[in-house]
Amino acid sequence: MRFKLVTAACVMLSQSLSAQTLEESIAEAIDNNPLIKQQYARFEAYVRDRDASTSGYYPTVNIHGGIGYEDTQYNSGQKVDEQLTRKELGLKVTQNLFNGFEDVSEVDRRAFEAESERLNLLSDAENLALDVSRVYLNTLKAEQLLQLTERNVDDHKKVLADIEVRSSQGLSSRSDLAQIKSRVATAESSLLAARNNLWDTRVEFMRLVGTKPENLITPKADNFLLPTSEQDAVQKAIKYNPEIRVALADLEAANYEINRESGGFYPDVNLELHANYNDDIGGIEGRDNDMRMMLTFTYDIYSGGNTVSKKESAIWRKEEARSIRIRTEQEVTEGVRLAWNAWSIQEQQLSWLEQNVDSAKETEVGYEEQFKLNRRSLLDVLDAKVELFVARKNYIDTFYNQRLASYRLLNATGQLNYAMRVAYPEQWKEEVITNEKD
């Protein structure tokens, strides 16, 4: 089924038509990603399996018939020696009245399995949104680092030009000229690496989103949705994270599987209607019709331990599902705490790194002035430029890493696409079961 995701940002008239926002990129990626479509198809298949399991609530109607040659030779009390064309037509209607609640348990089990697949679909969409956020921010960071590296090359080339003039006038030594040429070569090499890094991020962006990154805008997470504390983040994750809800649905499905297998310890009770319309049966010409309605039951007294083994197998699968739920909660909780620590620490780092940039810039300007007065060496100036370059690079790295940490935090709490205002199709939002346990 074809579906299309939209975002609130797409309909804002104030947004520039040429800009490519993070929200739009996420919606485009989810709409076209083959893994998302694969999981959606899987979810729909499980819904159909749930629908098929409800067939046990309804009667089964079977019609059988046949026609063919019959040779009857019978000589026990009454001699019969006939060759007739045997004709049969029959109807059987069976309505199960009780089977140890197997049908009810199977319907519930299938429903929770389908709900698990729906939640897996939401989890995949959340993780894809985080991947898009990462590559979106990495592309912006790579663009800024490229600009920073280009500026660094230009600054070194200006120094080289100045040193060449000074050297021609006998004011600078050959070692100064060699030193600056070496630094220019290093800056040029860094520029090539920065270009390559940008190309790599653009390729990954196109793979995830399906379009080229053009006119990207630096995004910012909705502070209103961000947790206020580490404990608040953990509580939101336990409540909303789709991976934990998947594990809970799988546990419920395993519980209903036990109930289904327990049905083998009870008899099957059916209401059956038989109607047969036959002709020339058993060597006797003429009609042979009958009709009956009966209440029947079957009870499995012994089956080689099959029933007991199936129930024990289901019990162990429930224990497996319980362990998976505990492990999933531990992993999600760990991810939340790591995301919270990264977000809060990097937020504090930004102010210090900003001061580092300001101080490094002030140092560079001062050293350049002192170099002109022969109070500083060329090496001092070049080192100051490197320090400023590194300070700016560290600030850019931390700035975008901190933005990504905020999206990781929203992803861990299961609210990233909600924060991105991504509107899911109705098929994704409708719960398969109504008694899901949070």
CA 313, 316, 322 angle in degrees (round to 5)?
145
Q: Which of 165-174, 322-331, 345-354 has the lowest mean pLDDT?
A: 165-174
- Alpha-carbon torsion angle 306, 309, 313, 316, nearest 10: 170
Decide if 264 contacts 311 (C-beta within 8 A).
Answer: yes
**Which tens digit of pLDDT belongs to each residue from 83-136?**
889 999 999 999 999 999 999 999 999 999 999 999 999 999 999 999 999 999
Decide if 164 contacts 177 (C-beta within 8 A).
Answer: yes
Strands (E), 208-327: 268-281, 284-298
**Which tens digit of pLDDT belongs to each residue from 327-371?**
999 999 999 999 999 999 998 999 999 999 999 999 989 988 888
C-alpha–C-alpha distance, residues 389 and 146, integer Å: 12
Q: How confident is the model at residue 10 (pLDDT cuts 50, 70, 90)?
A: very low
Q: Say what the pLDDT of residue 16 is.
A: 46
C-alpha–C-alpha distance, residues 102 and 49, integer Å: 15
DSSP code per residue over 214-283: -SB------TTTS-SSHHHHHHHHHHH-HHHHHHHHHHHHHHHHHHHHHGGGS-EEEEEEEEEEEEEETT
Domains of the chain listed by start with CATH number: 6-58+101-265+305-429 (1.20.1600.10)
Residues ≥6 apart with Cβ < 8 Å to 284:
80, 82
DSSP code per residue over 71-120: EEEEESSSEEEEEEEEEEEEEEEEEEEESTTHHHHHHHHHHHHHHHHHHH
Q: In angstroms, how far is CA 194 from the centroid of its own chain?
A: 31
Q: Say what the pLDDT of residue 436 is.
A: 43
Instruction: Kindly report the average pLDDT of the chain as a whole number.
Output: 89
For 392, phi then psi, to 5°, come to -65, -40
What is the widest separation between alpha-carbon atoms in the chain?
Answer: 140
**Which tens digit of pLDDT belongs to each residue from 372-424?**
888 888 888 888 989 999 999 999 999 999 999 999 999 999 999 999 998 88
Decide if 274 contacts 295 (C-beta within 8 A).
Answer: no
Q: Say what the pLDDT of residue 162 is.
A: 79
Decide if 64 contacts 90 (C-beta within 8 A).
Answer: yes
Q: Which residues pair with 82 in a beta bridge?
A: 72
Q: Say what the pLDDT of residue 77 is.
A: 65
Task: Tell me the helix, strand and coil percentages in the chain, rounded to 5.
Answer: 65, 15, 20
Q: Say what the pLDDT of residue 15 is.
A: 46
Q: How confident is the model at residue 434 (pLDDT cuts 50, 70, 90)?
A: low
Q: Looking at the whole model, is its pTM more than 0.75?
A: yes
Q: Say what the pLDDT of residue 14 is.
A: 41
**Which tens digit of pLDDT belongs to each residue from 55-83?**
999 999 999 999 999 888 877 767 777 88
Provide, rounded to the nearest whole percent, the portion of the chain with pLDDT above 90. 70
Decide if 109 contacts 257 (C-beta within 8 A).
Answer: yes
Q: Say what the pLDDT of residue 158 is.
A: 87
Q: Which residues pair with 268 in a beta bridge?
A: 298
Nearest CA-CA partner of 231 in 340, 348, 344: 340
Nearest CA-CA partner of 396 in 188, 155, 142: 142
C-alpha–C-alpha distance, residues 96 and 185, integer Å: 85
Provide, rounded to the nearest whole percent, the portion of the chain with pLDDT above 70. 94
